[in-house]
Structure 1
């Protein structure tokens, strides 16, 4: 049940982002086009789900030392130890390994990241602004 929910949320986020990227704005009246814009587009001031996933996946796959396309608990523990990461690597690995096969593959990682992105995106606009990103000085202090 949880797995289906995560899949539906991930699919919904990807669909929403795809629609937002392919939708063309309706032309405004000529006089409105001449006025300078005072706000930057959201995509330039934040990180989209695709960018978030790409960055995190690249970092995560550095843990895949045997290059088999998936990360084992041993690889994850060694990677987290080398990074001097806080927390128990076994607990974070268990949250990502949804099928409990002892490995985290790209599908599980994408589902985990989509869920995390949705939790961080407080205003649900499909973009993580600076204050929504972990580690930003104005970001709320919470367990990531």
Structure 2
């Protein structure tokens, strides 16, 4: 009695193994490869960069203007240079106060590190939608921008 049962079980196992081998499910096709989101974001950002102002461009423009104040070409701006520059530009406000605010290390000079920190802070404040690009309406002086001082 045991022999026929073993035979039936063995036959059943063999049949199940044969069926499993012939009907192995085909793996689901891999989802279509899409471009990484970073390249999509980069493409979108490059499109935005054309119509807006990135932090790098913002810093470059401002640095060029700022360094015109460095009349002795020592890569830093003294209070006297800053005052002369602000007077020439007919800037509003007290140059000594703005200089003191920007001179974060209180060494009596404005250098590139202080300028970069100031510009990054200003850029972040102006970039209302936090996309890393200043659109025309986010820039002061644009007709749709809120009236604020730079």
Provide TM-score, normalisation by structure 2.
0.69
Q: Does 1:117 align with 2:123?
A: yes
Q: CA deviation at 1:115?
A: 0.1
Question: 8 Å contact 2:79–2:99 — kept in the other structure?
Answer: yes
Structure 1 unaligned blocks of 5 or more: 1-22, 27-39
**Secondary structure of 1:41's match?**
helix
Q: 2-side partners of 1:101 and 1:142: how far apart? A: 29
Q: Does 1:71 align with 2:77?
A: yes
Q: Does 1:56 align with 2:62?
A: yes
Question: 8 Å contact 2:140–2:149 — kept in the other structure?
Answer: no
Runs of 4+ aligned structure 1 residues displaced above 4 Å come to none
**Secondary structure of 2:134's match?**
strand
Q: 2-side partners of 1:52 and 1:24: how far apart? A: 23
Q: 2-side partners of 1:55 and 1:122: how far apart? A: 20
Q: 2:90 is matched with which residue: 84, 89, 107?
A: 84
Q: Does 1:24 align with 2:30?
A: no
Q: 2-side partners of 1:142 and 1:134: how far apart? A: 6
Q: CA deviation at 1:142?
A: 2.1
Larger radius of gyration: 2
Provide TM-score, normalisation by structure 1.
0.72
Counting matched residue pairs gives 109
